[in-house]
Amino acid sequence: MPLAPQCDIPWDNNNLLCNTNKIDDHYSSENDSDVSLSTAIDTATVSNATTKAKAMTSEIEITEIAKEGEKADPSQFELLSMIGQGSFGKVLLVKKIHGRDTGQLFAMKILKKATLKVRDRYRTKMERDILARFCHPFIVRLHYAFQTEGKLYLILDFLPGGDLFNRLSKEIMFTEDDVKFYLAEIALALGHLHSLGIAYRDLKPENVLLDADGHINLTDFGLSKESVEKNGKTYSFCGTVEYMAPEVVNRRGHTVAADWWSFGVLMYEMLTGDLPFHGSNRRETMSMILRAKLTMPQSLSVEAQQLLRALFKRNPTNRLGCSNDDVKSIKSHPFFGTINWEKLYRREVQPPFKPLCTPSNHTRCFDSEFTKKTPHG
């Protein structure tokens, strides 16, 4: 993928039905001051180190969450299977064996305090605080939060369909109708977060879970940022590089509009099976996000190409969703013209895919690398 001067979008204004696969744009961001890639990376490193040093003096604990007045503890859950594992924690499928919701399945996220860096403790607290604030049909629900002397626990919805990454890895790419459905539900979830002043900042297939019926749920709010007011900026360098908006990469400050760039990356990936910007290493990927031309597959519908163009604006003030209308402008785009948004919110629209889950095999849609391991609390 060749590099081009930094511009507002990676394409020109040629007709959508043109024969070429590469569409270039010669827009000059005259209102933007250049920040070199090296400066962006170096500044991020220094900033993270400084933040960590300042935070070392304080211990971050989570506040307990009790469901209907009932507090929980590890003894109330039977460990059934491991379904996920990260650098500082793991996720288990568990069954409640005591209390009001005896017999119900949950996902138990366990984090060892001794192995958590201060930054990770802060992110755990952030995730707990955000999840405790709301209940939305397309956002994973937090049922309990508690801790022992050595561990932190979050008890979340168990979503047996696994994540969108798992399905995408099997299907390679989805039909436009499938993509339209998933994006529409994701848009409602993002719009709800933004209405509360929350920037999600880590949209990617691994963080989009499917429930038993095939509806999506956003999960993992450790990188989210609260109190991002309308047009207010935050300067954290965070997220998964391939999905980062240019203004996150160059550290000029970003708003909730950065989520709509990531939304575009996810859309492109689901439609084509490829990432729009992906280099051989992190630095090259970041450089591509800032300057690379992008191949626009002509097999996509006119409406899909138009939406991608509107989302991939390198100047965030020109990006669809950047205005005060936020998700309303996304919903009104012709690509979503066939979506009944009220029915979608009520979960009355049938998902394109229903996970093949059975009572005897709840973990069928999860990676066997994890499920074959013996679960330990």
230 is in an annotated binding site: no
Contacts of 289 (CB under 8 A, 6+ apart): 241, 244, 245, 246, 249, 277
Closest of 335, 331, 320 to residue 185, by C-alpha:
331
Q: Would you please indicate which residues are annotated as catalytic (active-site) residues?
A: 202, 204, 207, 220, 240
**β partners of residue 216:** 210
d(CA 60, CA 119): 9
Terminal Cα distance for the chain, rounded = 46
d(CA 262, CA 259): 5
Buried b (16+ CB within 10 A) or exposed e, 106-133: bbbbbbebeebebebbbbbbbbbbbbee
Task: Dig out the tokens for 76 from the structure.
Answer: 């109330």
d(CA 170, CA 249): 30
Q: How far is CA 152 from the centre of its chain?
A: 22
Alpha helices in the chain (DSSP H): 37-55, 118-131, 164-171, 176-195, 246-249, 257-272, 282-291, 302-311, 327-331, 341-345, 368-371
d(CA 180, CA 337): 10
Residue where the block lists tokens 């499928």: 93
Q: Which three-class secondary structure state does DSSP give residue 257?
A: helix
Q: Are strands 208-210 and 151-157 parallel, antiparallel or unpaired?
A: unpaired
Annotation: binding site for ATP: 109
Annotation: binding site: 109
